[in-house]
Amino acid sequence: MKTILTLGLLFLSLPGSTQSRLGDPAQGSTLQQLAEITGTQGGDDFGYSVAVSGSTLVVGAPLASGVCTNCGAAYVYTAVNGDWTNLVQTATLRQSSGQNEPGGFGSPVAISGDTIVVGGFDAGLQQSAAYVYVNPSGNVAQNAELTTSVQNGGNLNGVAIEGGTVVVGMIGLAGVPHGLGAAFVYVEPANGWANMTQTAELVSTDLNTDFGASVAISGRNIVVGATQAKVGGVEQGAAYLFTEPAAGWSGTWAPKTTFQASNGTRKANFGQSVSVSGETVAVGAPDETVGSSQNEGAIYVFTRPSSGWPKTMTETAELTASTAKGGSELGFSVVLSGKTLVAGAPFARGSQGLVYVFQEPPGGWEGGAGGEVVAASDGAANNYFGYSVSFGGVIAAGAPGWPHVSLSQDGAAYVFGVSQ
């Protein structure tokens, strides 16, 4: 599939703000662009990752220079009095140590309440790590560094957080069977976040090499994507559900349910993005063929049956974009919260990029083409708008290729909602 960077993929979805909420499409509301923030250095790839919660927006720039050239950074913005048209930068996040070479810090970001998690690489330890920041302000280093007890040597592709639980996805690990990827769970200690190794490890029994390509968490449920998983001997991709044991997260766990596409095609990259909200799971397959349209992309929704999650499950509904064309890669990023699903198609319109917003019908998710189209006000070719998305009452979307008039890739992040 297409890539515009050599860094890992992200993912994250969080609870919402009380201001500028999305309206009810049934009442004819239209989303408005409330804010645009742009990078300040050429080549930052600002907007490669985004996360929003309450009145806080986090934007990752994995090629930003500061402590060292192209080490990466993450930036925190606050909506003043909940007004998303009035954003102020409140913090710049960096690693306190181990950041002496390009490491992609900021390629994945996640937020829950006042706690932010950023993925990076500790050059001293020679392993990927996640960094926790609690209510950060100013130019700050982390409260805690989350590492693994195994020699990971892999790429940190995703982080997710809900409350006091963090999930990290890594692929290509050296210290697990068959060289597979893994997801690591960290539970906040009673005295608060501190440097630690994982509380639990999530693994796949399938012989794929990219388990951990994406991660998401909601309540007791964790979902992990694996884009190269084989289904019936064909590399289509899969996603896996893990449910927290009654005694809490500890030890090593295999998945409870495997999610697959009923009509998946070869190298559809199913599982590149995942999200979970309650008992509903969304999985992006950006290189899925729709009809005869290659790489158009689709999102697959799985709703827990009344009898409980089965061992293997195909989709409840397949969502496609009403205006999508071949090469759009809908589902490159996805976030599900309640009845709202937001998905990016960063290669639509000559890689200008689009975002689609789907609302669950009263009778439950139904397959078909649809979605409200969201576009950047200054969108242009090769901006890759929708490369990252997040939803927390407002929609945040990253465009790491902005602006189109140069090759500098300063990057941009946008906020959309319904003004009140």
Residue 331 located in a structural domain = yes
**Residue range 321-339, pLDDT digits in tens:** 988 889 999 999 999 999 9
| Cα 208–Cα 126–Cα 270 angle in degrees, nearest 5 | 25
Give the pLDDT score at 10: 32
Residue 365 identity: W
Instruction: Give the model's confidence band at 208: pLDDT under 50 very low, under 70 low, under 90 confident, else very high.
Output: low
Whole-number Å distance between alpha carbons of 329 and 260? 18
Do 181 and 143 touch, CB atoms closer than 8 A?
Answer: no
Whole-number Å distance between alpha carbons of 222 and 242? 5
Give the pLDDT score at 37: 96
Q: Is the pLDDT of residue 1 over 50?
A: no
Q: Is the pLDDT of residue 200 over 90?
A: yes
Average pLDDT over residues 229-249: 93
Q: Is the pLDDT of residue 409 over 80?
A: no
Whole-number Å distance between alpha carbons of 109 and 107? 7
Task: Supply the mean pLDDT for the chain.
Answer: 88
Give the pLDDT score at 125: 83
Bigger pLDDT: 233 vs 13? 233
Q: What is the pTM of this model?
A: 0.91
**Residue range 125-176, pLDDT digits in tens:** 888 899 999 999 999 989 999 999 876 666 788 999 999 999 999 987 755 5
Q: Is the pLDDT of residue 21 over 60?
A: no
**Residue range 284-328, pLDDT digits in tens:** 999 999 988 899 999 999 999 999 999 999 999 999 998 888 999
Residue 2 located in a structural domain = no
Give me the domain span that covers residue 325: 25-417
Whole-number Å distance between alpha carbons of 54 and 90? 15
Residue 19 located in a structural domain = no
Residue 95 located in a structural domain = yes
CATH code, domain carrying 41 = 2.130.10.130
Q: Is the pLDDT of residue 404 over 70?
A: no
**Residue range 335-369, pLDDT digits in tens:** 999 999 999 999 999 999 999 999 999 999 999 99
Tokens for 224?
Answer: 């992990």
Q: Is the pLDDT of residue 78 over 90?
A: yes
Q: Is the pLDDT of residue 283 over 70?
A: yes
- CA dihedral sign of residues 113, 119, 123, 125: positive
Instruction: Give the model's confidence band at 419: pLDDT under 50 very low, under 70 low, under 90 confident, else very high.
Output: low
Q: Is the pLDDT of residue 9 over 50?
A: no
Residue 184 located in a structural domain = yes
Q: Which residues contact 346 (CB under 8 A, 6 or more apart)?
A: 329, 332, 333, 353, 384, 385, 386, 387, 399
Give the pLDDT score at 109: 98
Instruction: Give the model's confidence band at 101: pLDDT under 50 very low, under 70 low, under 90 confident, else very high.
Output: low
High-pLDDT (> 70) share of the chain, %? 86
Tokens for 238?
Answer: 């899969």
Residue 411 located in a structural domain = yes
CA dihedral (243, 345, 366, 290) in degrees, to 10, reads -110
Residue 253 located in a structural domain = yes
Tally the domains of the chain.
Answer: 1
Residue 266 identity: R
Give the residue from 225, 221, 317 showing the smallest Cα distance to 271. Answer: 225
Residue 9 located in a structural domain = no
